[in-house]
Amino acid sequence: MSELCWLSATELAGLVREKTVSPVEVVEAHLERIGAVNPALNAVVTLAADEAVQAARWAEAAVLSGLTTGPLHGVPVLVKDNVFTKGIRTTFGSRLYENFVPEEDAVLVERLKKAGAIVLGKTNMPEFGLVCVTDNLVFGPTFNPWDITRTPGGSSGGAAAAVAAGLCPLATGNDAGGSIRIPASLCGVFGLKPSFGRVPSYPRLPGMETLSHEGPITRTVADAALMLEVMAGPDERDRMSLPAPAAGYLQTLGESIKDLRVAYSANLGYASVEPEVSAAVRSAAFAFRELGCRVEETGVVLPDLVSDLQKIVVTEIVTALEKRLEEWREKIYPAFRPMLDRVNSVSNRDLARAQFRREELWDKVRRVFERYDLLLTPTSAVTAFVSGTGGPLAPPMINGKKAHSMSWMAFTYPFNFTGQPAASVPCGFDSVGMPVGLQIIGRRFDELTVLKASAAFEACYPWHHFRPPL
pLDDT, position 365 = 98
Q: How far apart are CA 57 and CA 203, in angstroms?
A: 29
Measured torsion, CA atoms of residues 211, 327, 348, 336, in degrees rounded to the nearest 10:
-60
Note if 179 is an active site residue. yes
Residues lower than pLDDT 50 in the chain = none
Q: How far apart are CA 359 and CA 357, in angstroms?
A: 5
Note if 94 is an active site residue. no
Q: Domain containing 438: what range?
A: 2-460
Q: How far apart are CA 132 and CA 208, in angstroms?
A: 15
pLDDT, position 390 = 73
From the candidates 94, 155, 407, 424, which is the catalytic residue? 155
Residue-by-residue DSSP string for 435-468: EEEEEEEESTT-HHHHHHHHHHHHHHS--TT---
Q: What is the CATH number of the domain that holds 156?
A: 3.90.1300.10
pLDDT, position 112 = 98
Q: How far apart are CA 63 and CA 16, in angstroms?
A: 8
Residue 103: inside a domain? yes
Q: Between the CA of residue 36 and those of 31, 40, 286, 464, 470, what are the distances in Å?
A: 9, 9, 40, 21, 10
From the candidates 8, 22, 80, 311, which is the catalytic residue? 80
Mean pLDDT taken over the chain: 96
328-348: b (≥16 Cβ within 10 Å) or e? beeebbebbeebbeebeebee
pLDDT, position 91 = 98
Q: Name the pTM for this structure.
A: 0.98
SS3 28: helix
pLDDT, position 66 = 95
Q: How far apart are CA 85 and CA 210, in angstroms?
A: 22
pLDDT, position 392 = 84
Q: How many domains does the chain have?
A: 1
Q: Between the CA of residue 241 and those of 82, 197, 224, 367, 464, what are the distances in Å?
A: 19, 4, 19, 26, 31
Note if 331 is an active site residue. no
From the candidates 8, 179, 201, 424, which is the catalytic residue? 179
pLDDT, position 2 = 86
pLDDT, position 246 = 76
Residue 138: inside a domain? yes
Residue 465: inside a domain? no
DSSP classification of residue 178: S
DSSP classification of residue 93: T
